[in-house]
Chains A and B, each alone.
Chain A
Amino acid sequence: MTDFTDVLENPDSNTKKSGPLKQYVTFLVDDRSYGVDINLVREIKQWTPTTTLPNQPHYTRGVLNLRGTIVPVHDLRTRFGGALTEATEVHVVVIVWIGSKTVGILVDAVSDIISVPTDDIRPVPSGQSLGDMSSLSGLVNTENGMVALLDLNTLFPVEEDEL
């Protein structure tokens, strides 16, 4: 695995001081940057082949064994309307909490951890044909370009059992 473990250990590398800070793990899909609240990230693991499930959405790549529990893996590229990722061992699965469930998200690579003042989070413009915008919770401009913050609950809704 690559240098992102190093990044994880030094989460303050991008700190700007203005207002309350939130930290996001950012990752790349097709050179586009996405971010997820760091509190929701459980771990990051290298891609391993999954066991496919019958009759699931195209983006659901199947399930993997995470230390004895079965965790579904979704393909972020496919979810945003792209093709299936031809996953190899350089691809990365970000294991996140969605509600009470543990879910894996297949991305190309993890890039950074950023600290963002909440004031700097811009709303997603509506009415634009940029794809499924409701699955984004905000946009942030960083030195390395724009990061789209993911709303995981909308992106990969989980059934909170029998509520």
Chain B
Amino acid sequence: MDDDDDFDFQALFFEECHELLATLQEHLNQLNDGTNDEETVHAAFRAVHSVKGGAAAFGFDQLIGFAHIFETVMDLIRSDQMEPTSEINQILLRSGDMMEVLIESAQNDTPVDEEKLSNLQGELEHLASGGAGAEEVPETSIVSAKSTVEVFDTPPEETTADDGDAKPRSREITVRFAPEKDFFASGHDPLRLIGSAKALGLNRIEVLGQVPPLKDFDHTACALTWEFIFDTEKSVEDLEEFFEIYSHIADIEFSSDEQMDEDGSPEDAAAAPGAEIDEIADSALAGASDSSTTEQKEPIASDPKTAQKGSPRVGSEAAGGAAKARSGPSKSLRVELPRIDRLVNLVGEMLITQAGIAQKLMEIQATDSSEDGMEMGHNVEAMSRQLRELQESVMAIRAQPVKSVFSRMPRVVRDLADKLGKEARLELSGEHTEVDATVIEELSEPLTHMLRNSMDHGLEATSEDRVAAGKSRTGVIKLSAEHRGERVIITVEDDGRGVNRERVLAKAIEAGLISTEDSLSPEEIDMLIFHPGFSTAAEVSSVSGRGVGMDVVKKKIVSLGGRCTLESTPGKGTRFEITLPLTLAVMDGMTIVVGDQKFILPLSSVVEALHIDKEARKCLPSGENLLERRGEFLRLIDLRAILSQPRKGNEMDMAIVVDTETSGLVALIVDELIGQRQIVLKSLEANFKRVEGISGATILGDGQVALILDVPSLLSMNGSSGSYSEMMH
């Protein structure tokens, strides 16, 4: 295998390492939080173990060494030989962090704090020896572990049995091979052994054992002993290596002719001169071999179906060119977001195109009712369904649990606790809450900032201060996520001292953000910390830095279409709440045309579309229009007036009946109905503000922005629309 290949595998290994690390840290955190079930411990153990396995394959000694002792400790916990106390859990958490450092070091050659490493390694070793008690700790031979079975120096093909005779410095080595009764049952095939041994210079085979009497004959058991006589240039060691793989299942003795002069092996004396090996092989096996061993294999080899079934899969794995290493069958696949976005957009465009075809077809069918048209209609319908399914599938790819971001946070808190000399614990909840992938990506930075703020400013300066305030020494920061309606709420809550309003006020006055005359409510003072350039730390802290504070968080959240609020109780703690709309979540919408523009109505509110008969239109003395629908009167609202759209020449004769939820059904006059589609919601508030009657926007296939109508608020606008219209026209 050449270096290039190694390099590719390494990249893959590191990529996987990061996933393993996330798993490890997640489970270590759970362990730390008191979840000491088997699955948690096992998962953490496996993650360490997998990293070690990979590290061993690539020879990252430092990582192997550390992972090994780490694994040993995890194994003790796994086998209930050690109780994960909170002290031990802290060591494990730090070990998880160290693994991350070591992996990074292996990957990028970044420096490792050797002292920290050796201290931690020492702590783990201490645990391993102490925790295990008198019992023997598993041998730690991994670091220097060599393959149990060495490579053959020369390819086996070069030294065939026939050649062996001709070589000058060959010697005779006898191998007495007494398989245990499970030899066949363990998947060994003596024919295979003999075939491979021939390549090493196997010359003769003697059969020493005896077939038991028929009544005792167990066809699955191996009752024979063979003596393999090699005439070979290989050393005894070489042959030992060859036979190593059988060592657990057979009693194997080696003797060479040089040794035999001294030992005078009696078995050898009894050995008859060899015949041709193939014949011997057959006769040596006769009667003893499990007949199924050979029979079973034949259908495998000769069944073309099996062979064909297997090959395309293998072929496709190899087909990916440079990326082939990634294309193996795996549980997950990493895809860059822009690629998914491209898909989302394309599917959206396809839906529009499809809608166009469907509409055209309807027009054609109106004049031509041939069967071809019908058939095509069915096809278009099927395509529409498939497209929607496709779109749903694509959208589903984007949703991810916030766990991927949350799991990084405990480390942030631990690092900060170290740096600040504070005791703190992070509690996570709602990690499985799903958020759009783009939001997830952007969440890490503001969350880190918020945690820093809580650690630095939220928690009391020292544990003693906390004790004095009647609190536990360890500060608790809670990070949680939950869905609330169409939004995701993420909170960061600490049990610290609360916002120091006097200081905030002083600072804000000093910075000229407010004047001394301004009288602010406590809540308003609290909110000042979101002001750009505001930093309450008395001196510039290396943790929060100057001005890189909550304003950055706010900016980020707002740019994601979210909101940031803060609740603080002096002496009790501070709670930050981020409210994120599922901005990129999808919605089923109906595209309509009003005046010059396309708008979207949430499909969930649409009851039906109908043509307006002149007779069905009524007018109240107040000037309000009504529409009679199956004996019922609905308010009839002209969207063109409300949405400040120009009146087109054509007669308004199309209405859409919507359910406002609060005020029953209303009919909206529209110019045109384009059709249904799934849309990606975009926020207007991110860069502008809330616009009455509009809940958001989306981007159409042609890149144009279409506004999403907020039906309940449209209704409240209706009252003022008259005066507004007059003003405009």
Shortest Cβ distance from residue B567 to the other chain A in the assembled complex, whole angstroms: 13
Instruction: For A68, list chain B residues within 8 Å (CB).
Output: 341, 682, 699
Mask of B546-564 contacts with A, CB within 8 angstroms, 1/0? 0000000011001100011
Q: Is A6 an interface residue (CB 8 A)?
A: no
Bound together, the chains give a CA A158 to CA B558 distance in angstroms of: 12
Which residues in window 665-713 of B have CB below 8 A to A? 682-689, 691-694, 697, 699, 703-707
User: Contact check: which of A55, A65, A71, A101 meets B558 at CB < 8 Å?
Assistant: A101
0/1 interface trace, chain B 331-353, chain A, CB 8 Å (1 if under) = 00000000001000000000000
- Closest chain-A Cβ to B252's Cβ sits at a distance in Å of 69
Residue of A nearest to B596 (CB): A52
Known contacts being A51-B706, A72-B687, is A161 close to B642, with CB within 8 Å? no
- Which residues of A from 128 to 163 have beta carbons under 8 Å from B? 158-163
The answer to whether A163 and B704 touch (CB under 8 A), given A55-B691, A69-B687, A158-B689, is no
Asked whether A51 lies within 8 Å of B642 as measured between CB atoms, the reply is no
Q: Does B530 contact A (CB under 8 A)?
A: yes
Q: A70 with B703: in contact, given A54-B644, A100-B555, A101-B558 (CB under 8 Å)?
A: no
In the assembled complex, the Cα of A71 lies from the Cα of B688 at a distance in Å of 7
- Expressed in whole angstroms, the minimum distance between the Cβ of A70 and any Cβ of chain B is 5
CB–CB B693/A70 < 8 A: no
In the complex, are the beta carbons of B704 and A51 less than 8 A apart?
yes
Q: Which residues of B contact A52 (CB under 8 A)?
A: 596-597, 644-645
Task: Give per-residue flags for A47-79: 1 if the beta carbon is below 8 A from chain B beta carbons, else 0.
Answer: 001111111100000111100111110000000
Decide yes or no whether B79 CB sits under 8 A from chain A: no
Looking at the assembled complex, report how far the CB atom of B682 sits from the nearest CB atom of chain A, in whole angstroms: 5
Provide the bound-state CA to CA distance between A71 and B643, in Å. 19
- Chain B positions within 8 Å of A54 at CB level: 642-644, 691-694, 717
Distance to closest chain B CB from A77 (angstroms): 20
Bitwise, B633-652 to A at CB < 8 A (1) or not (0) is 00000000011110000000
Shortest CB distance A41–B (Å):
15
Residue B724 at the chain A interface, CB threshold 8 Å? yes
Within the assembled complex, what's the spacing in Å between the Cα atoms of A71 and B724? 25
A111 interface residue, CB < 8 Å from B?
A: no
Q: In the complex, are the beta carbons of B527 and A64 less than 8 A apart? A: no
Interface 0/1 of B99-137, CB less than 8 Å to A: 000000000000000000000000000000000000000
Residues 17-29 of A, flagged 1 when their CB comes within 8 A of B and 0 if not, give 0000000000000
Q: Which residues on the A side are within 8 Å of B692 (C-beta)?
A: 54-55
A103 within 8 A of B: yes
Q: Does A33 contact B (CB under 8 A)?
A: no
Cβ contacts under 8 Å, A100 to chain B? 554-555, 558-559
Query: Are A70 and B705 in touch, CB under 8 angstroms?
Result: yes
Determine whether the beta carbon of B597 is less than 8 Å from that of A55: no
When distances are taken between beta carbons in the complex, the residues of chain B under 8 Å from A46 are none
> What total of chain B residues lie within 8 Å of the partner, measured CB to CB?
38
Residues in chain A near residue B717, CB distance under 8 A: 54-55
- B682 cross-chain contacts in A, Cβ below 8 A: 68-70
Provide the bound-state CA to CA distance between A26 and B564, in Å. Answer: 35
Contact of B699 among A53, A65, A72, A162 (CB under 8 A): A65
Task: Name the residue of chain B whose CB is nearest to the CB of A101.
Answer: B687
Contact assessment for B563 and A64 in the assembled complex, using a CB-CB cutoff below 8 Å: no
Q: Does A102 contact B (CB under 8 A)?
A: yes
Interface residues on A, range: 20 to 34
For residue B692, which residue of chain A has the nearest CB? A55
Residues of A close to B689: CB separation below 8 A: 158-159
CA distance A65 to B530 in the complex (A): 28
Smallest Cβ-Cβ distance to B686: which chain A residue: A69
When the two chains form their complex, are residues B644 and A161 in contact, meaning their CB atoms are under 8 A apart?
Answer: no
Known: A63-B697, A65-B703. A55 touches B644 (CB 8 A): yes
Q: Please give, as numbers and ranges, the residues of chain B lying within 8 Å of A160 by CB-CB distance.
A: 554, 558
> In the complex the two chains form, is B563's CB within 8 Å of A51's CB?
no
A100-B558, A161-B563 as given contacts; A51 in contact with B686, CB under 8 Å: no
Nearest A residue to B724 by beta-carbon distance?
A55
- Complex alpha-carbon distance, A128 and B713, angstroms: 42
Whether B565 is near chain A, meaning CB under 8 Å from some CB there, is: yes
Q: With a CB–CB cut-off of 8 A, which chain A residues contact B699?
A: 65, 68, 70
Using known A-B contacts A70-B705, A100-B558, determine if residue A53 contacts B687 with beta carbons closer than 8 Å. no
List A residues 98-127 near B (Cβ within 8 Å).
99-103
Given A70-B687, A101-B558, A162-B565; A53-B704 close (CB under 8 Å): no
B554: chain A residues within 8 A (beta carbon)? 100, 160
Which of B687, B693, B697 has the largest count of A CB atoms less than 10 A from its CB?
B687
CA distance A49 to B645 in the complex (A): 15
Q: How far is the CB of A130 from chain B (nearest CB, A)?
A: 27
Taking a contact as CB atoms closer than 8 A, the residue among B563, B705, B724 that contacts A63 in the complex is: B705
Which B-chain residue is minimally distant from A95 (CB atoms)?
B687
Question: B residues within 8 A CB of A65?
Answer: 699, 703-705
Contacts A55-B717, A68-B699, A158-B689 hold; do A63 and B684 have CB atoms under 8 A apart? yes
CA of A61 to CA of B707, assembled, Å: 14
Closest to A71 in B: B687
Residues in A with CB closer than 8 Å to B597 are 51-52
B445-478 CB mask vs A (1 if < 8 Å, else 0) is: 0000000000000000000000000000000000
Expressed in whole angstroms, the Cα–Cα distance for A19 and B532 within the complex equals 26
Q: Do the beta carbons of B644 and A70 come within 8 Å of each other? A: no
A163 to B694 CA separation, bound complex (whole angstroms): 22
Determine the residue in chain A with the shortest Cβ distance to B685.
A161
CB of B527 within 8 A of CB of A163, answer yes
Instruction: Tell me, in angstroms, the Cα distance from A46 to B555 when the chains sit together.
Output: 26
CA distance A55 to B710 in the complex (A): 14
Contacts of B643 in A (CB 8 A): 54
In the bound complex, residues from chain A placing their C-beta under 8 Å from that of B558 are 100-101, 160-161
Q: Are A51 and B644 neighbours in the complex by a CB distance under 8 Å? A: no
Q: Kindly list chain B residues whose C-beta atoms are within 8 Å of the C-beta of A62.
A: 705
Closest to B531 in A: A163
**Cβ distance A82 to chain B, nearest Cβ, rounded Å:** 19
Q: How far is the CB of B555 from chain A (nearest CB, A)?
A: 4
Of residues 314 to 371 in B, which have CB atoms within 8 Å of A's CB atoms? 341
Residue of B nearest to A162 (CB): B563
Once the chains are docked, how many angstroms separate the CA of A65 from the CA of B699? 7
- Measured CB to CB, the nearest residue on chain A to B696 is A70
Residues of B within 8 A of A51 (CB): 597, 697, 704-707
Residues on B with beta carbons closer than 8 Å to the beta carbon of A53 = 684, 691, 694, 707
A71 CB contacts on chain B under 8 angstroms: 687-688
- Chain A hits for B683, CB < 8 A: 70
Q: CA A72 – CA B564 in complex, angstroms?
A: 22
Determine the distance from Cα of A72 to Cα of B689 in the docked complex, in whole angstroms.
9
Contact A72 B707 (CB under 8 A): no
B324–chain A nearest beta-carbon distance, Å: 33
The residue from A56, A70, A163 contacting B697, defined by CB atoms under 8 A apart? A70
Shortest Cβ distance from A50 into chain B, in angstroms? 8
| Nearest Cβ on chain B to A6's Cβ, whole angstroms | 27
- Cβ-defined partner of A70 (8 Å) among B527, B532, B564, B688: B688
Q: Is A55 touching B693 in the complex (CB atoms < 8 A)?
A: yes
Residues of A within 8 A of B705 (CB): 50-51, 62-65, 70
Max count, chain A CB within 10 A of own CB: residue among B530, B558, B644, B684? B558
A72 to B687, CA, bound (A): 7
CB-CB nearest 6 A-B residue pairs: A100-B555, A51-B705, A72-B688, A101-B687, A54-B643, A102-B687
A-B contact pairs, 13 of them (CB 8 A): A52-B596, A52-B644, A54-B642, A54-B694, A65-B704, A70-B682, A70-B687, A72-B687, A101-B558, A101-B688, A160-B558, A161-B558, A163-B530
In the complex, besides A51-B705, A158-B688, 11 extra interface pairs with C-beta distance below 8 angstroms are A51-B707, A53-B684, A53-B691, A54-B691, A55-B724, A65-B703, A68-B682, A71-B687, A72-B687, A160-B558, A161-B558
